Structure 1
Amino acid sequence: MVKNLMFDLGGVIMDIDRNHCVKAFEKLGMENIDSFLGLYGQKGPFLQLEEGKISADEFRAEIRKMLPRHVSDEVMDAAFNEFLIGIPVSRLRSLEQLHRHYPLYMLSNTNPIMMNSRIDACFRADGHDINYYFDGIVTSYEALSCKPERRIFDYAARKFGIDPGETLFFDDSQANVEAAVSYGYQAVIIRPGEEFKTVLDNYLSKDL
C-alpha cells in the first residue's frame, strides 16, 4: 500500500539541462567544468557543496581559483543556476492535486545556492512557495549525504516519520531507484518525457 509520495527534484519535478550549465561556466573561462558536473552526480567542490562539506562562500572561493578572472557571486550563481530550466505550472498543479490525497515529501541532491534562488523562484510560478506542496523536504547538504547512499534515505525516513515500505519514491536515476528499493522503499524511475502523475497512475493500477 502506498501512503506517502517522495520525490526527487531534478528530472522529476524540475526540468534540467546539464549542458546549459557547462556552457555557462565555460563562458566564465572554466576549462575543466565538464569533469565536475554529471547528470546524476557531481565531483570536486560541486559535490562538496551538495554534501554540505563546504559553504556557498567556500564553494565560490574554490571555483574562483579555476577562473582566469574575478567574477561576482551573482554572476557565478547565475551560471550554476543554468542547470535548472524550470517547472511547468501543470506539474505544480499535479503536485497540488496529489497533496489532497497523500503526504508529499521531497528528497534531493542539491545545494543551497540553487535552493535559495532558482528553485525557490520556480516553485512560486503558480502563486505558492515550495512548502505549500510538501509536508517535508530533505536536501543532501542538510543530510550531509547524497543519494544513492543509505544515510540520506534513513535520514529522510526519520525526519518525515514515515515507513519506507509505505512510501513510493520517484527518481530519474536508476541507481537511486535501485538503492531506495534495497533500503525498503517502493520506487519507480521517471524517464525522459515521462510525467510522474502518469507513472504513479500506472503503478497504482497494477495493484488493482
Structure 2
Amino acid sequence: MARAIVFDLFGVIASTQTPEDIRAIERTAGVEPGPFWEAYWALRKPYDAGQPAGEYWAAVADRLGARFTDTTVRALVEADMKSWTNVDAVMVGLVAELAARGRTLGLLSNIVADLVPIFEARHGDWLGHFTTLAYSCELGVAKPDRRAYELVAERLGVAPRECLFIDDNETNVLAARELGMRAEVFRAPDQVRALVDD
C-alpha cells in the first residue's frame, strides 16, 4: 500500500476549461482561435513555473504578431483565471473520504501564481485535506520535470517509490514512473478507489 497518494489538480479534481470559458477567452483576445491556443499552450510552462502574467501574455502576443493593451491583458488574466476554478464534486468527496480514512495526501499541480489565491479562497475547505500543496509556480519547476516529483515526495516525508500518483496527462505519469512512483493516468473516481485499495 502506498504511504502517500499524490493527485494532479486540473483534469483530475478540478475541471478543465469549459467551451463557454474558451469562447470568453477567445472573445477577449480578439485573434484567430487556432494560432491563439497554439501560443497559449506552447508558452505555458514558464508561466506555470512562476513567470509573471504580463510577461506571459506579452510572449503570447509576440508569437501571434499582435499587441495586447494593458486593459486586454487584465481581462485575459481574469477570464483565464476564472476558467480554471471549477471542480468535480465526486472527486472532492473522494479526497475527503481518503483523508477521513487517515491517508496521507499530496497535491502536485502545474498552476500559475495568479490562480493560487483565487483557487484557495474558493476551495480552501477541501484543500485542507492535503498534507502538502505543491504548486509549480512556487516550486519553480513544472511537471514533467523530475524535480517536481522529488519535491512533493520530500514534502510528504516519503520516498518517490512510496507514492501513488494520479494525473490525467500520460507524459506526467510516465515521468513519475521513471522516478519510481506508482503512477496511473486518471480515468474515473472508481478507478482511483481501486488503485488506493489495491
TM-score, length-normalised on structure 1?
A: 0.79
Where does residue 6 of structure 2 map in the other structure?
6
4+ aligned runs moved over 6 Å, structure 1: none
Structure 2 regions of 5+ residues with no counterpart?
Answer: none
Task: Measure the CA separation in 2 of the matches of 1:16 and 1:51.
Answer: 19
Where does residue 161 of structure 1 map in the other structure?
157
Where does residue 49 of structure 1 map in the other structure?
47
Where does residue 110 of structure 1 map in the other structure?
111
Over aligned residue pairs, what C-alpha RMSD do you find?
2.5
The amino acid across from 1:123 in the alignment is H
Structure 1 regions of 5+ residues with no counterpart?
Answer: none
Task: Measure the CA separation in 1 of the matches of 2:109 and 2:77.
Answer: 19
2:99–2:129 CA contact under 8 A, matched in 1:
yes
Where does residue 120 of structure 2 map in the other structure?
120
TM-score, length-normalised on structure 2?
A: 0.82
Q: How does 1:180-191 map to 2 (within 5 A)?
A: 180-191=176-187
Where does residue 37 of structure 2 map in the other structure?
34
Where does residue 78 of structure 2 map in the other structure?
78
More helix by share: 2
Task: Measure the CA separation in 2 of the matches of 1:10 and 1:88.
Answer: 10
Where does residue 95 of structure 1 map in the other structure?
95
Residue 146 of structure 1 pairs with residue 175 of structure 2: no
Residue 59 of structure 1 pairs with residue 50 of structure 2: no
The amino acid across from 2:120 in the alignment is D
Where does residue 200 of structure 1 map in the other structure?
192
Q: What percent identity do the matched residue pairs reach?
A: 24
Task: Measure the CA separation in 1 of the matches of 2:126 and 2:53.
Answer: 22
Residues 131-188 of structure 1 show CA distances to partners (whole Å, capped at 9, x for unaligned) of: x121101111222222112121112222322221121111001111121111111111
